[in-house]
Amino acid sequence: MPTPAQAIPERNGHADTLSRTVSNSFSNSFGTQELGSSPQASFHSSIPSSYGAHQRPSTKQLKPFHTEDIKVLLLENVNKTGQDILRKQGYQVEALKSSLPEDQLIEKIRDVQVIGIRSKTQLTANVLKHAKNLIVIGCFCIGTNQVDLKYAAETGICVFNSPFSNSRSVAELMIGEIIALARQFGDRNNELHKGIWNKVSAGCWEVRGKTLGIVGYGHVGSQLSVLAEAMGMKVIYYDVTNLMGLGTSNQVHSLEELLQHADFVTLHVPEIPETMNMMSTQQFEQMKQGSYLINASRGSVVDIPALISASQSGKLAGAALDVYPNEPGGNGEHFTNDLNTWTEDLRNLKNIILTPHIGGSTEEAQSAIGVEVAESLVKYVNFGITSAAVNMPEVSLRSLTMEEPNHVRVIYIHHNVPGVLRRVNEILGDHNVDKQMTDSRGDVAYLMADISNVNTSEIKDLYQSLEDLGSRIRTRVLY
């Protein structure tokens, strides 16, 4: 039987925080309950039943949650490593293999404090406005374009992702696809499966000495750069940021310059307005005759009808796509014109490799992502720590310990306007503020304060006073 301290492996120097399962909380997400015992007793009541049910006092607490009260919805087949971490906390975890249509998602999201998704589930403002209990979102992937990050921050919902745990997997897939396209082995494989022996060398090339043009030299692009040079490729890259090239790779000044020189072009940019249809008719015209395009970033980055024309005209000698403007919610026979009107045309092109968004789908990547994101969720739910959050300021304090029984952690997410700290500290001022940290990101600020000598009877007033401030987005009191 694991102890709470063993429940999550230590990472990022937070062993002390993880060893104390602080899970009593006074927050607007949970129903009002009667005031009862001291913070010390309520701490024991928060420990999951498997760790110490015999210690739970019968008295009800002031609107605290026990970890068993935390409801988590995981969609899109989140890895077991992540599920296990959340379950070991005692949270109620429902894990589904696919994403949900919007109406079903809205029904489910009403009820949960935590949701975990991958790249498919769209957490728009319209969906999130129904998520009255939600305090945190975990994107078990790199991309966060599927979440309305601004709306989430403005409603006090923190978002986490895994910024690089699948980068290597994507880079390795790119290497496989560069060789596959250069040797046309996708087509040869398909032909032989149909019984056709077609031994040809025309239009088939070694990759050694060819130029790879990487668009977006971040985690994936830079990994790919190193691997490609090891195969004897020359690497150039284009990025909106001025970045040091690894090995002997060189940054170019414009996308056009890259397209004019590269034999292979790979795309590794985020989905943002500036990258929408970044590769369209004009850009395909700027590419070298007989060059190749690979897109494993997001479907919106490539204008697919323009790619189909460039391929049919022979400008492109081949292409590989892992991502599409519309992707199905789950596995099955969905890749038809019902999904995207041009699907049949795409499927009929020569030397085209089509994969179902598997760039990051390896055992290693999914297992690491599961651990990383689940740990972030636990630290946020149990301790309010926002380190590595995507849409909130990063705030963390040394944890409360068992030796500080009458301490309370106040978390106050608020509009970033003048005068708030003064008012908050007036409210906290009757207690000793042991430590405090505050930071802002755009219009939203996040304050965390550990205060001592708090009687349980004072917590409700403390909470209510903070809630009554006009600047309030969300208040949580953990004790």
Ligand X SMILES: O=C(O)CCC(=O)C(=O)O
Ligand Y SMILES: NC(=O)C1=CN([C@@H]2O[C@H](COP(=O)(O)OP(=O)(O)OC[C@H]3O[C@@H](n4cnc5c(N)ncnc54)[C@H](O)[C@@H]3O)[C@@H](O)[C@H]2O)C=CC1
Q: How many residues bind ligand Y (CB under 6 A)?
A: 30
Hey, what are 180's tokens? 């596959």
In angstroms, give the least distance from the CB of 292 to ligand Y: 17
- For ligand Y, which residue of 268, 409, 414, 431 counts as binding (CB under 6 A)? 268
> Binding marks (x or -) toward ligand Y, 344..383, rule CB under 6 A?
-------------x-xx-----------------------
Picked from ligand Y, ligand X, none, the partner binding residue 219 (CB below 5 to 8 A depending on kind) is ligand Y
- Residue number, 125 or 240, with CB nearest to ligand Y: 240
Picked from ligand X, ligand Y, none, the partner binding residue 220 (CB below 5 to 8 A depending on kind) is ligand Y
132-162 b/e with 16+ CB inside 10 Å = b? Answer: ebbbbbbbbbbbbbbbbbebbbbbbbbbbbb
Residue 166 interacting with ligand Y (CB under 6 A) = yes
In angstroms, give the least distance from the CB of 28 to ligand X: 32
- For ligand Y, which residue of 112, 142, 410, 420 counts as binding (CB under 6 A)? 142
Angstrom distance (rounded) from CA 157 to CA 339:
31
Site for ligand X in 130-149 (CB under 6 A): 141-143
Contact predicate 369/165, CB 8 Å: yes
Residue matched to tokens 């607490």: 61
> Binding marks (x or -) toward ligand X, 351..390, rule CB under 6 A?
---------xx-----------------------------
- Letter for the amino acid at 206? E
- For ligand Y, which residue of 26, 51, 91, 217 counts as binding (CB under 6 A)? 217
Picked from ligand Y, ligand X, none, the partner binding residue 241 (CB below 5 to 8 A depending on kind) is ligand Y
- Contact window for ligand Y (CB under 6 A) among 262-270, 369-377, 378-386, 430-438: 262-270
In angstroms, give the least distance from the CB of 238 to ligand Y: 6
- Residue number, 72 or 139, with CB nearest to ligand X: 139
Q: How far is CA 449 from CA 34, 322, 400, in A?
A: 24, 45, 11
- Residue number, 353 or 408, with CB nearest to ligand X: 353
In angstroms, give the least distance from the CB of 264 to ligand Y: 17
Hey, what are 14's tokens? 């937070």
- For ligand Y, which residue of 322, 372, 375, 450 counts as binding (CB under 6 A)? 322
- Residue number, 92 or 361, with CB nearest to ligand Y: 361
Catalytic residues: 298, 327, 357
Q: Are strands 444-452 and 432-441 parallel, antiparallel or unpaired?
A: antiparallel
Site for ligand Y in 7-36 (CB under 6 A): none
In angstroms, give the least distance from the CB of 222 to ligand X: 16
Q: Which residues pair with 264 in a beta bridge?
A: 212, 292
Q: φ and ψ at 57, to 5 degrees?
A: -70, 155
Site for ligand X in 91-130 (CB under 6 A): 118-119
Residues 6+ apart with CB under 8 A from 54: none
- Residue number, 19 or 361, with CB nearest to ligand X: 361
Q: Are strands 472-478 and 408-415 parallel, antiparallel or unpaired?
A: antiparallel
Picked from ligand Y, ligand X, none, the partner binding residue 235 (CB below 5 to 8 A depending on kind) is none
Picked from ligand Y, ligand X, none, the partner binding residue 275 (CB below 5 to 8 A depending on kind) is ligand Y
In angstroms, give the least distance from the CB of 276 to ligand Y: 10
Query: Can you say whether the dihedral through the CA atoms of 147, 150, 154, 159 is positive or negative?
Result: positive
Angstrom distance (rounded) from CA 156 to CA 412:
9
- Contact window for ligand Y (CB under 6 A) among 72-80, 84-92, 290-298, 377-385: 290-298
Residue 270 interacting with ligand Y (CB under 6 A) = yes
Q: Which residues pair with 117 in a beta bridge?
A: 139
**Which stretches of the chain bind ligand Y, using CB under 6 A?**
142-143, 166-167, 170, 215-221, 238-241, 268-271, 274-275, 296-298, 322-323, 357, 359-360
**Which stretches of the chain bind ligand X, using CB under 6 A?**
118-119, 141-143, 166, 360-361
